[in-house]
């Protein structure tokens, strides 16, 4: 296992982590263009830990050939591993990348969020407003239609079924679709950590971490299909129930990060459906 620091280079173009593939085509096209431009200038290109996911195997092969062509036209295949480093946060992504990009240095590295480390030590968990907060994806990676009225209907029915044979009927919950970039809700704007600003910049990561933690604080228990929601909850020792998303990165990334004796308490079950998640609440 490696860390990002093992591959640091001062003359380097790096791209932030996330999804590598055709889920977000425009992002991938630009990424591949940057690889070409970077190698042409004899600089090093490094992608931070990614999840590899293609809906189209044909597109997967086309992208691989395009990147290979960029390498051949610039630094050459004999030197390409010195210039091209791809980091992967899941075992299956890493293995597939070794097949697709044998001309690059492919390394398996835990998700970048885990490097927040001591930055999170100053966060204090506030009194929760609900027993459960559902913090769910809203984009093309979601597997669970849990937004708006659909959320309330689905969860109401699921709660009724799970607790039908129990005496507990007073559990409260709320649902939230976590968008990466957005204006903080009114309840956040008077919160001390946000007193000086009402918007969150794409690259203002400190404020974005603050906002993410605030979203998680609403519930005593967090149920989320957001990878970073579950990772932050684990690091903050928040009781949480992770759910899977389209690219299976919740399980894959947690396995790379936590699947050993020292971290066994963090390696909890990842659920594929809402009924399974709810069954753990009681």
DSSP state string for 114-176: GGGGGGGGG--PPPPSEEEEEEE--STT--S--SHHHHHHHHHHHHHHHTTTSS-----EEEE
**CB contact at 8 A, 85 and 44:** yes
Q: Where on the phi/psi map is residue 183: left (φ > 0), alpha (ψ -120 to 50), or beta?
A: beta
DSSP 8-state symbol, 19 = E
DSSP state string for 46-110: EEEEEEEE-S-HHHHHHHHHHHHHHHHHTT-TTTHHHHEEEEESSHHHHHHHHHH-TTSEEEE--
Copy the structure tokens of residue 207.
């404020």
Q: Which residues pair with 271 in a beta bridge?
A: 243
Distance CA 214, CA 24 (A): 28
Residue 4, classified by CB atoms within 10 Å of its CB into exposed (0-12), middle (13-18) or buried (19+), is middle
Copy the structure tokens of residue 237.
């020792």
Distance CA 104, CA 102 (A): 5
Per-residue pLDDT of the chain (282 residues; tens, 9 = 90+): 555 454 445 456 666 678 999 999 999 999 999 999 999 989 999 998 999 999 999 999 999 999 999 999 999 999 999 999 999 999 999 999 999 999 999 999 989 888 887 667 666 656 678 888 888 887 888 876 554 444 445 555 555 555 555 555 567 777 777 665 555 554 444 444 444 444 545 556 677 777 777 778 778 888 888 898 888 888 888 888 888 889 999 999 988 887 654 455 555 678 877 767 777 766
Q: What is the pLDDT of residue 213?
A: 78
**DSSP H or E run through 221:** strand 219-224
Q: What is the pLDDT of residue 11?
A: 58
Distance CA 64, CA 99 (A): 10
Q: What is the pLDDT of residue 120?
A: 72
Q: What is the pTM of this model?
A: 0.79
């Amino acid at each position: 296992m490696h860390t990002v620091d093992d591959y640091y280079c001062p003359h380097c173009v790096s791209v932030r982590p996330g999804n590598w593939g055709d889920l977000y085509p425009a992002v991938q096209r630009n990424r591949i263009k940057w690889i070409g431009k970077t190698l042409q200038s004899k600089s090093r290109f490094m992608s931070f830990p990614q999840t590899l996911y293609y809906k189209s195997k044909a597109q997967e092969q086309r992208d691989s050939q395009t990147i290979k062509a960029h390498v051949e036209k610039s630094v050459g295949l004999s030197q390409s591993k010195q210039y091209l480093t791809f980091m992967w946060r899941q075992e299956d992504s890493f293995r597939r990348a070794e097949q697709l990009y044998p001309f690059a240095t492919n390394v398996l590295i835990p998700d970048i969020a885990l490097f927040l480390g001591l930055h999170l030590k100053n966060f204090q968990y506030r009194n929760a407003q609900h027993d459960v907060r559902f913090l769910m994806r809203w984009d093309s990676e979601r597997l669970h239609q849990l937004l708006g009225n659909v959320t309330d209907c689905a969860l109401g029915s699921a709660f009724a079924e799970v607790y039908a044979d129990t005496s507990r009927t007073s559990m409260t919950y709320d649902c939230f679709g976590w968008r990466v970039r957005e204006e903080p809700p009114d309840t956040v704007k008077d919160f001390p950590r946000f007193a000086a600003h009402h918007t969150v910049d794409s690259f203002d990561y400190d404020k974005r971490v603050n906002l993410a933690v605030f979203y998680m604080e609403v519930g005593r228990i967090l149920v989320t299909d957001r990878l970073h929601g579950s990772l932050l909850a684990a690091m903050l020792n928040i009781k949480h129930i992770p759910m899977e998303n389209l690219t299976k990165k919740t399980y894959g990334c947690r396995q790379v990060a936590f699947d050993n004796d020292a971290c066994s308490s963090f390696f909890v079950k990842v659920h594929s459906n809402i009924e399974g998640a709810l069954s753990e609440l009681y």
